[in-house]
Amino acid sequence: MLKILKNLKESILLVAAIIILLCVQAAADLNLPDFTSKIVNIGIQQGEIEYAVPSVIRKAQLDNLLYFTNEDENEDEKIMNSYELMEKTEDNLEDYPELKNQELYELKNIPKGEKENLEEIMAKPLMIIYQLEDEEMQKTIKDQMYSGVNQDNSNISFTNIMDVIKNIPDEQRDKMLESVNDKINSMSNSILEQAAIEEIKSEYKAIGIDLDKIQNNYIFMTGLQMLGVALISMTSAVTIMFLSSRVAAKLGKTLREKIFKKVLSFSTAEFNQFSTASLITRSTNDVQQIQQLLTMLFRVVVYAPIIGIGGILRVVRTSTTSMAWVIALAVFSIIAIVIVLFIVAMPKFKKMQTLIDRLNLVTREILTGLPVIRAFNTQKREEKRFDEANTNLMKNSIFVNKAMSLMMPAMMFIMQGVMILIIWVGGHSVDQGIMQVGDMMAFLQYTMQIVMSFLMISIISIMLPRASVSANRINEVLETEPHIKDKTEDKQVKFDENKKGLIEFKNVSFRYPDADTEILEDIDFTAEPGKTTAIIGSTGSGKSTLVNLIPRFYDVTGGELLVDGVNIKDVAQKDLRSRIGFVPQKGVLFSGTIESNIKYGKENINDEEMKKAASIAQATEFIDKKEEGYNSPIAQGGNNVSGGQKQRLSIARALAIDPEIYVFDDSFSALDLKTDRALRDALNTQTHNKTVIIVAQRISTIMNADQIIVLEEGKIVGKGTHEELLKNCETYKQIALSQLSEEELNQKEVK
Domain ranges within the chain, ordered by starting residue: 35-219, 265-478
Q: Is the pLDDT of residue 748 over 50?
A: no
Residue 523: strand pairing partners:
508
Q: What is the reported pLDDT for 142?
A: 64
Distance of CA 697 to the CA centre of its chain: 54
Q: Is the pLDDT of residue 751 over 50?
A: no
**Distance between CA 723 and CA 140 in Å, rounded?**
140
Judged by phi (left if over 0) then psi (alpha if -120 to 50, else beta), residue 666 lies in left
Using the Cα atoms of residue 318, residue 322, residue 323 and residue 328 in order, give the sign of their dihedral: positive
Q: Where is pLDDT greater, at 233 or 141?
A: 233
If residue 80 lies in a helix (H) or strand (E), which one and from where to where?
Answer: helix 73-82
563: which residues sit within 8 A by CB, 6+ positions away?
A: 495, 502, 503, 504, 550, 571, 576, 579, 661
Q: What is the reported pLDDT for 149?
A: 45
Using the Cα atoms of residue 163, residue 166, residue 169 and residue 172 in order, give the sign of their dihedral: positive
Using the Cα atoms of residue 456, residue 459, residue 463 and residue 464 in order, give the sign of their dihedral: positive
Q: What is the reported pLDDT for 156?
A: 46
Q: Is the pLDDT of residue 6 over 60?
A: yes
Q: Is the pLDDT of residue 192 over 90?
A: no
Using the Cα atoms of residue 492, residue 498, residue 501 and residue 502 in order, give the sign of their dihedral: negative
The band of 173, judged by pLDDT with boundaries at 50, 70 and 90, is: low
**Distance between CA 581 and CA 657 in Å, rounded?**
7
Contact assessment for residue 187 and residue 130, using Cβ atoms and an 8 Å cutoff:
no
The residue length of the chain stands at 751
Q: Where are the alpha helices (DSSP H) in 157-284?
A: 161-167, 170-185, 189-207, 211-264, 268-273, 276-283
205-209, 312-316, 373-377, 418-422: which has the highest mean pLDDT?
205-209
Residue 562: strand pairing partners:
504, 567
DSSP-assigned letter for residue 550: T
Q: What is the reported pLDDT for 224?
A: 93
**CATH of 265-478 given 3.20.20.70, 1.20.1560.10, 1.20.1730.10, 1.10.3720.10:** 1.20.1560.10
Q: What mean pLDDT, rounded, does the chain reach?
A: 82
Q: Which of 511, 641, 650, 664 is nearest to 580 (CA)?
A: 664
Q: 528: how many CB neighbours lie within 10 A of its CB?
A: 15
Contact assessment for residue 158 and residue 230, using Cβ atoms and an 8 Å cutoff:
no
Contact assessment for residue 284 and residue 501, using Cβ atoms and an 8 Å cutoff:
no
Q: 399: how many CB neighbours lie within 10 A of its CB?
A: 17
Residue 56: strand pairing partners:
106
> b vs e for 234-271, b when ≥16 Cβ sit within 10 Å of the residue's Cβ?
eebbeebeebbeebbebbbebbeebbeebbeebbebbe
Across 69-88, average pLDDT: 81
Across 504-513, average pLDDT: 89
Return the percentage of the chain with pLDDT > 70, whole number.
89
302-355 pLDDT, tens digit each: 888 888 888 777 777 655 556 777 777 877 887 787 778 777 777 787 788 788
Contact assessment for residue 500 and residue 32, using Cβ atoms and an 8 Å cutoff:
no
639-676 pLDDT, tens digit each: 888 888 888 899 999 999 889 999 998 888 778 888 88
Q: What is the reported pLDDT for 127?
A: 81
Q: Which of 441, 139, 462, 147 is nearest to 296 (CA)?
A: 462
Q: What is the reported pLDDT for 144?
A: 62
Q: How many CA atoms lie within 13 A of 531 on its CB side?
A: 14
Across 538-560, average pLDDT: 89
447-473 pLDDT, tens digit each: 887 877 777 777 776 677 777 878 888
Using the Cα atoms of residue 288, residue 294, residue 299 and residue 304 in order, give the sign of their dihedral: positive
The band of 691, judged by pLDDT with boundaries at 50, 70 and 90, is: very high
Q: Is the pLDDT of residue 158 over 60?
A: no
Q: What is the reported pLDDT for 151?
A: 46
Q: What is the reported pLDDT for 150?
A: 44
Identify the weakest region by mean pLDDT among 52-56, 185-189, 530-534, 613-617.
185-189
Q: Is the pLDDT of residue 746 over 70?
A: no
Residue 592: strand pairing partners:
634
Helices and strands: H and E segment counts in the chain: 30, 15
Return the percentage of the chain with pLDDT > 90, whole number.
13
631: which residues sit within 8 A by CB, 6+ positions away?
A: 593, 594, 595
Q: At what angle do helices 437-478 and 211-264 cross, to 10 degrees?
A: 10
**Distance between CA 646 and CA 652 in Å, rounded?**
10
**Distance between CA 285 and CA 32 in Å, rounded?**
40
Q: What is the reported pLDDT for 145?
A: 61
Contact assessment for residue 241 and residue 457, using Cβ atoms and an 8 Å cutoff:
no
202: which residues sit within 8 A by CB, 6+ positions away?
A: 130, 133
Identify the weakest region by mean pLDDT among 190-204, 567-581, 723-737.
190-204
**Distance between CA 471 and CA 482 in Å, rounded?**
20
Q: What are phi and psi of 572, to 5 degrees?
A: -70, 140
Q: Which of 536, 585, 587 is nearest to 697 (CA)?
A: 536
Q: Where is pLDDT greater, at 229 or 145?
A: 229
Strands 580-583 and 661-665: parallel
DSSP-assigned letter for residue 13: H
**Distance between CA 494 and CA 112 in Å, rounded?**
82
Q: Where is pLDDT greater, at 212 or 70?
A: 212
Identify the weakest region by mean pLDDT among 32-46, 374-388, 566-580.
32-46
